[in-house]
């Protein structure tokens, strides 16, 4: 190394250090925000999950009793499995619809893409509860769908499974979460050049093969985010199953909410349940995204 190159190296090092310091300063408000409003509450909840309840008091000690109770309870296991199943099903339906819609916007109707995107997003402008009640109006015994089918003569009596059922929960959650899946998937797809598609087609790639080996891998970051959004939000929801789920569609979110309100509430148990659910859904997201990557590898 000559003196000249050392001098340049020092200058670059100094420049990099200044850039890093500048980046740290710029990032610090966001980091601070996350630490205060996410890290600290989560840590508090984690600590709480090792405490226990005596009468009306929460006793600050260190016990794994809540986690033991969850592990040994068939009730919590059943509800957790049911929740994961409904969440996966919702994501498995929502993501392909969002993918198809994004494909149509990107490659079939590119000139109408913004308009279609606005239509998809406009539902986010209305309140969450309002949208759930709208689905109740559509799916109810005397709702729009049943009335239309009866008017058309397709059915004699209302289809009762349309509302207050797992079916209603999945349909409603799909409707609610679709915009959140479309956004990242369309965003990923917008970066795929039409040339890639044409080259793959010229090389003999058939339509499904092209989707599997070109489109999905290239849109994978968006698909992964869309899947994570829909699965996590569906699995964590407790309002939708309460309002359209009927007498059997209890989800783990409902059980956790019960632990934080009313007589018989048990905050430490609720906190432990929240962490168990968090761990379970994160594990599933990791496994599923890994599987998607493997299946679509060419």
Partner 1 sequence: MKDIVRTILQAKLNAPLDRRRFIQGGAGLATLTILGASENSARAEGGKLGGPLNFFGYDGEQGPKVTKEFLEKNGIQMNAAFAGAADETLTRFRTGGRGSMDIMTMNKDFQRSVIDANVELFQPLDLSRIPNAAGLFSGFKDANWLVRDGKTYGVPMIWGDEPCIWNPKKWDGVPDRYTDFADPKYKGELVLLDDPFGNIWLFAKSVGVKDPSRLTKQDLDKAVEAMLTIKPNVVTIGASLGDMADVLVRGDASMGLGGWAYQTIIAKEKGVDLVVGSPKIDDRFFWSDAYTIAIDAPNLDNAYGFIDFITSPEANAALATELGSGCTVEKAYDLLDPSIQSLYDYSTVRQPGAGILGTQTVVPKQEAEGDIVGAQAWVEAWQAFKVA
Q: How far apart are CA 298 and CA 288, in angstroms?
A: 18
Which of 160, 196, 206, 295 contacts partner 1 by CB under 8 A? Answer: 160
Interface with partner 1 includes 54 (CB under 8 A)?
yes
Q: How far apart are CA 139 and CA 162, in angstroms?
A: 5
Consecutive H or E run containing 173: helix 166-189
Which of 264, 294, 297, 298 contacts partner 1 by CB under 8 A? Answer: 264
Q: How far apart are CA 12 and CA 18, in angstroms?
A: 10
Q: Identify which range of 26-34, 44-52, 129-137, 206-214 contacts partner 1 by CB under 8 A.
A: 129-137
Which of 95, 178, 250, 273 contacts partner 1 by CB under 8 A? Answer: 250
Q: Do 277 and 87 touch, CB atoms closer than 8 A? A: no
Interface with partner 1 includes 258 (CB under 8 A)?
yes
Residues 67-106 touching partner 1, rule: CB under 8 A, are 75, 78-79, 82
Interface with partner 1 includes 243 (CB under 8 A)?
yes
Backbone angles phi, psi at 32, to 5 degrees: -60, -45
Residues 168-187 touching partner 1, rule: CB under 8 A, are none
SS3 at position 110? helix
Q: Identify which range of 38-46, 114-122, 203-211, 250-258 contacts partner 1 by CB under 8 A.
A: 250-258
- Residues in contact with partner 1, counted by CB under 8 A, come to a total of 37
Q: How far apart are CA 274 and CA 42, in angstroms?
A: 10
Interface with partner 1 includes 164 (CB under 8 A)?
yes
Consecutive H or E run containing 207: helix 207-210
Q: How far is CA 237 from the centre of its chain?
A: 10
Interface with partner 1 includes 57 (CB under 8 A)?
yes
Using CB under 8 A as the criterion, which residues of the chain lie in contact with partner 1 when the complex forms?
53-58, 75, 78-79, 82, 133, 136-137, 140-143, 160, 163-164, 239, 242-243, 245-248, 250, 254-255, 258, 261-266
């Amino acid at each position: 190394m000559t003196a000249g190159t050392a001098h340049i190296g020092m200058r670059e090092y100094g420049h990099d250090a200044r850039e890093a310091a500048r980046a740290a300063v710029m990032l610090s408000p966001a980091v601070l925000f996350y630490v205060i409003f996410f890290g600290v509450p989560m840590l508090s909840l984690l600590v709480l999950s090792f405490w226990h309840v005596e009468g009306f008091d929460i006793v600050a000690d260190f016990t794994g009793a809540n986690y033991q109770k969850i592990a040994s309870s068939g009730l919590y296991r059943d509800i957790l499995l049911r929740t994961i199943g409904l969440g996966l099903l919702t994501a498995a339906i929502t993501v392909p619809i969002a993918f198809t819609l994004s494909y149509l916007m990107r490659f079939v109707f590119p000139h109408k893409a913004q308009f279609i995107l606005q239509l998809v997003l406009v539902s986010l402008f209305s309140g969450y509860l309002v949208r759930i009640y709208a689905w109740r109006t559509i799916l109810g015994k005397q709702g729009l769908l049943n009335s239309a089918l009866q008017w058309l003569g397709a059915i004699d009596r209302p289809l009762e499974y349309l509302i207050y059922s797992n079916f209603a929960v999945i349909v409603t959650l799909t409707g609610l979460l679709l915009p959140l899946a479309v956004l990242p998937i369309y965003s990923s797809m917008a970066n795929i050049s039409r040339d890639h598609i044409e080259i793959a087609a010229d090389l003999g790639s058939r339509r499904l093969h092209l989707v599997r080996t070109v489109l999905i891998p290239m849109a994978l970051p968006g698909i992964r985010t869309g899947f994570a959004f829909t699965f996590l939000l569906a699995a964590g929801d407790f309002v939708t199953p309460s309002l359209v789920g009927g007498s059997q569609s209890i989800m783990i979110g409902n059980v956790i909410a019960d632990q934080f309100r009313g007589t018989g509430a048990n905050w430490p148990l609720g906190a432990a349940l929240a962490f168990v659910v968090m761990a379970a859904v994160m594990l599933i997201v990791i496994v599923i995204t890994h599987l998607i990557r493997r299946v679509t590898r060419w």
